[in-house]
A and B are shown apart, each in its own frame.
Chain A
């Protein structure tokens, strides 16, 4: 029998049970916390987040709260005053899988599960 494929997963992060999608993005952006970001950063091999990384994460969250989506790359560059190369150095998993995921921005959704 095949293992059921599930598109959501309940995990305990920073002491709280939180739903994540199949790519490890927060299902609900309000479940995010700074402690959760730190824990996920350790999990991803980044270690402790430094001030520049936090500047990026805070920009992403503020942008999402106002626009309901992640910024385009050019908006991210302008908002953080960092180049793409610098951003990718800060988040080795990339902007989407690294920075956006740690910032608690949700993946764009399928409709249903």
Chain B
């Protein structure tokens, strides 16, 4: 042990620390409660969220030993500035739109402080070098680099933050007003789940299955229960409810009872005084497994002798065809046909914040409520699912700030564990798993296997599409049906295809279970369809952009599911990107070389929003101080839903933004407005909020006043409930796949410019350009931020990322995109207000990555002639594709 004197944010501190173990992160977070400093990577120094300044140098506090800090001056994010008195760098991050989920931002700002102190005018390359240890999943790093350059201008006195603040009379819509939550995140005062103090709470560890498929013959907890600090161990038999989490099918246990169905399935919960004690005791729980055949592919799961994974469902758990027109005849008479088989990988959504949930009992007797502080983006549904699973009706679900989600927080994960433990042990509990366990415990992006045929007539118009799609659902249903149906609804991208014959099937396996992941189905199918589009365009000698424009749907024509579209401004997007496309083509031709070849590729998308049957509800209330509170359950794990809601309502009511408050995080005071997913928040929840605000506005006009006092005097209600309901309800026909579809679309054309090293297969993405039409733009910086972050995620999906159960256990093995991978990006936004939109807006978040992978793969093919049929397009796969292309050339005699 060593006695160390140091200062933290100017405060003298004396610490007696273990020389080998005690790290600065624990002093800062646990001892001092300075939770602006985060932790994501299991203390491996991989993420940079824990950065603090030590004597002016940015250090990773998770690997900095306290014993080495004698006399050191430590500064955390809280020491730089507060929301009332922010540092110029913090203001720059807010004003540049660099703050999305905000989990990485304190670490980014601390690192930027070191850089700017030494170099007030850094180039973008210098910023990239300085931030090489900091990870971000939301932004693609573009706006973070922008923010640091802006901070440099502030620090050099060239401009002041006030110069960039929208004026008080600026319009509510179409202006990048600072996000309501951004400054708290930039100053480290926004509490994420693990930041919440809960003195005396038990810490939880979970015993997880080492088998992908096995019967549980018995569980012996004796040794674990005798270990130091252990309060108890619970198993499935201690759960009083159904013990099944249900999203669409109740098939996933909170704790497995008779069988485990995938690696990492939860089997028992250990509660102890400290996390280390709980983890140690979890190791001592003895589970007697009888291994069963592990079905690790749809082929294995569909084999005749394969065991059934769930007792009440065959492994082939869902199928849905699409039959439109006469595809067989259209293929027979086509001028050109292309075909291929495309495969995508299991992938992790990779929010930077690890999983976390807390739970406690509030009240006694009949009034006792189980309070779960979790990470759901659908808190009312999570509450309902937990009520049944845990057998406890009185549940209040609350959501803290959330460090990214990208689909992973649609599902109940840690909440069930924490809730079950709080009920069983009758104590407050914290469940803060490692990032390795978080990866093991959560849902993943479904892998798709897709055979495709695509045909066109002599005029270059698409005539037929044939596909067989097999989706590996993994061990549990979650949203499997929804994901597959979404892919089918959006199957034909932006195009009119009159004849379609598609078979699709969803198969239970013992792989990680799939669920929502940004785009949720269409990113997988668009990879196949948009690559086939390029193959067909080349075969017919038509420029790929012209081919896409020529085949655009027109109002009055039908999508794959037979749904007639009313608005389809896709051709305008093709025109908008054309100048950049032609420039990129010229540059690629000029830079063509032997060893490194340059190519240009396109991908398009028409991303549907608001499924038939969707509905939302919102409330607004005129408060005694004449401000207005909006009540909706609208999680905001980074997209900017707080901006969207406050700016829409301020616009309708013609009130200043600081008069609008949001209540969005608790089932106790929000409306059950549905999930913050499916890119539906602006259209559905925002639409309901606008409806409520318009009712209040009408009442204000009738009363002739905008004050609470006047409403009371006039005997008028101060609270108004608004709704948004889609126009149609019916699901797809089970035999033809025809039926109503999404109510509106957001459109995109993305372009990738790449360089391929034909010797190594390495691909460098030189630039990505996204042209998008999301309808009327509410907040330009938020839209650009979504496009940039989406392209970055799409590039990771295309080139690097893959989740391999048991092997992917941290950010290095996941190949998390760092700032060295950051790609130069350009965004082109076309605003075509939609008739049905929320004041003309539709949404943007998921579409941003849907067409990135095909754009990159098409660019690789454009560069070197090699089509990569399986993602990610690693150097080995590119080399194999090159070899196959060469073999075809030899075979054809060219």
A contact residues vs B (CB 8 Å cutoff): 1-2, 4-8, 19, 22, 27-28, 65-70, 72-74, 77, 83-85, 94-96, 106-113
**Shortest Cβ distance from A56 into chain B, in angstroms?**
14
Q: Are B393 and A8 in contact (CB under 8 A)?
A: no
**Shortest Cβ distance from A54 into chain B, in angstroms?**
21
Sample of 7 A–B contacts (CB below 8 Å): A1-B316, A7-B731, A65-B721, A68-B672, A96-B387, A111-B674, A111-B678
Q: Which of B167-200 contact A (CB under 8 A)?
A: none
Contacts of A109 in B (CB 8 A): 381, 614-615, 672, 674-675
Contacts of B518 in A (CB 8 A): none
Number of interface residues of B (CB under 8 A): 57
Partner of B729, one of A27, A65, A85, A110: A27
B394 to A, closest residue via Cβ: A73
For B574-613 the 0/1 string (1 means CB < 8 A from A) is: 0000000000000000000000000000000000000111
Given A96-B393, A111-B614; A73-B369 close (CB under 8 Å): yes
For B267-306 the 0/1 string (1 means CB < 8 A from A) is: 0000000000000000000000000000000000000000
For B651-694 the 0/1 string (1 means CB < 8 A from A) is: 00000000000000001101111110110100000000000000
Q: Which of B366, B667, B670, B672 has the most chain A CB atoms closer than 10 A to its own CB?
A: B672
Q: What 3 A-B pairs have minimum CB-CB distances, sorted nearest first?
A: A68-B671, A108-B380, A108-B381
A19 to B, closest residue via Cβ: B729
Instruction: Tell me, in angstroms, the Cα distance from A113 to B730 when the chains sit together.
Output: 9
Q: Are B672 and A108 in contact (CB under 8 A)?
A: yes
Q: Which of B491-526 contact A (CB under 8 A)?
A: none
Q: Are B319 and A2 in contact (CB under 8 A)?
A: yes
A83 to B, closest residue via Cβ: B366
Partner of A5, one of B248, B486, B672, B721: B248
Contacts of A72 in B (CB 8 A): 369, 394, 396, 667-668
Contacts of B667 in A (CB 8 A): 69, 72
Q: Are B613 and A113 in contact (CB under 8 A)?
A: yes
Q: Are B611 and A111 in contact (CB under 8 A)?
A: yes
Contacts of A85 in B (CB 8 A): 366
B521 to A, closest residue via Cβ: A112
B378 at the interface (CB under 8 A from A): yes
**Shortest Cβ distance from A4 into chain B, in angstroms?**
5
For B683-722 the 0/1 string (1 means CB < 8 A from A) is: 0000000000000000000000000000000000001010
Q: Are A112 and B396 in contact (CB under 8 A)?
A: no
Instruction: Tell me, in angstroms, the Cα distance from A4 to B394 when the chains sit together.
Output: 34
Q: Is the interface of A mostly helix, strand, loop or mixed?
A: loop
Q: Are B615 and A28 in contact (CB under 8 A)?
A: yes
Contacts of B678 in A (CB 8 A): 111-112
Instruction: Tell me, in angstroms, the Cα distance from A109 to B612 when the chains sit together.
Output: 13
Instruction: Tell me, in angstroms, the Cα distance from A109 to B246 when the chains sit together.
Output: 12
B542 at the interface (CB under 8 A from A): no
Q: Are A5 and B317 in contact (CB under 8 A)?
A: yes
Instruction: Tell me, in angstroms, the Cα distance from A109 to B248 when the chains sit together.
Output: 10
Q: Are B721 and A66 in contact (CB under 8 A)?
A: yes
Contacts of A19 in B (CB 8 A): 613, 729
Contacts of A66 in B (CB 8 A): 619, 719, 721
B contact residues vs A (CB 8 Å cutoff): 247-249, 313-314, 316-320, 363, 366-367, 369, 378, 380-381, 383-384, 387-388, 393-394, 396, 410, 477, 479, 481-482, 485-486, 611-615, 617-619, 631, 667-668, 670-675, 677-678, 680, 719, 721, 725, 729, 731, 734
Contacts A77-B366, A108-B381, A112-B614 known; 4 new A-B pairs at CB < 8 A: A8-B613, A68-B721, A96-B387, A110-B378
Q: Are B612 and A113 in contact (CB under 8 A)?
A: yes
A74 to B, closest residue via Cβ: B367
Contacts of B668 in A (CB 8 A): 72
Contacts of B318 in A (CB 8 A): 2, 4-5
Q: Are A110 and B384 in contact (CB under 8 A)?
A: no
Instruction: Tell me, in angstroms, the Cα distance from A65 to B318 when the chains sit together.
Output: 36
Instruction: Tell me, in angstroms, the Cα distance from A32 to B481 when the chains sit together.
Output: 28
A75 to B, closest residue via Cβ: B668
Contacts of B617 in A (CB 8 A): 68
Q: Are B619 and A68 in contact (CB under 8 A)?
A: yes
B673 to A, closest residue via Cβ: A68
Q: Are A67 and B366 in contact (CB under 8 A)?
A: no
Q: Are B383 and A113 in contact (CB under 8 A)?
A: no
Q: Are B396 and A67 in contact (CB under 8 A)?
A: no
Partner of A69, one of B248, B477, B670: B670
A68 to B, closest residue via Cβ: B671
Contacts of A96 in B (CB 8 A): 384, 387-388, 393
Contacts of B618 in A (CB 8 A): 68
Given A2-B313, A94-B393; A111-B721 close (CB under 8 Å): no
Contacts of B247 in A (CB 8 A): 110
Given A19-B613, A111-B378; A2-B721 close (CB under 8 Å): no
Contacts of A22 in B (CB 8 A): 248
Partner of B731, one of A6, A67, A70: A6
Q: Are B481 and A74 in contact (CB under 8 A)?
A: no
Instruction: Tell me, in angstroms, the Cα distance from A92 to B394 when the chains sit together.
Output: 17
**Shortest Cβ distance from A87 into chain B, in angstroms?**
10
**Shortest Cβ distance from B720 into chain A, in angstroms?**
10
Instruction: Tell me, in angstroms, the Cα distance from A65 to B249 when the chains sit together.
Output: 29
Instruction: Tell me, in angstroms, the Cα distance from A96 to B367 when the chains sit together.
Output: 17
Contacts of A7 in B (CB 8 A): 248, 481, 731
Q: Are A112 and B378 in contact (CB under 8 A)?
A: no
Q: Are B485 and A113 in contact (CB under 8 A)?
A: yes
Instruction: Tell me, in angstroms, the Cα distance from A106 to B318 when the chains sit together.
Output: 26
Q: Are B631 and A68 in contact (CB under 8 A)?
A: yes
Contacts of B485 in A (CB 8 A): 112-113
Q: Are B612 and A73 in contact (CB under 8 A)?
A: no
Instruction: Tell me, in angstroms, the Cα distance from A31 to B458 when the chains sit together.
Output: 51
Partner of B680, one of A1, A65, A73, A111: A111
Contacts of A113 in B (CB 8 A): 481-482, 485, 611-613, 731
**Shortest Cβ distance from A95 into chain B, in angstroms?**
6
Q: Are A67 and B619 in contact (CB under 8 A)?
A: yes
Contacts of B380 in A (CB 8 A): 69, 108
B717 to A, closest residue via Cβ: A66
Instruction: Tell me, in angstroms, the Cα distance from A94 to B672 when the chains sit together.
Output: 20
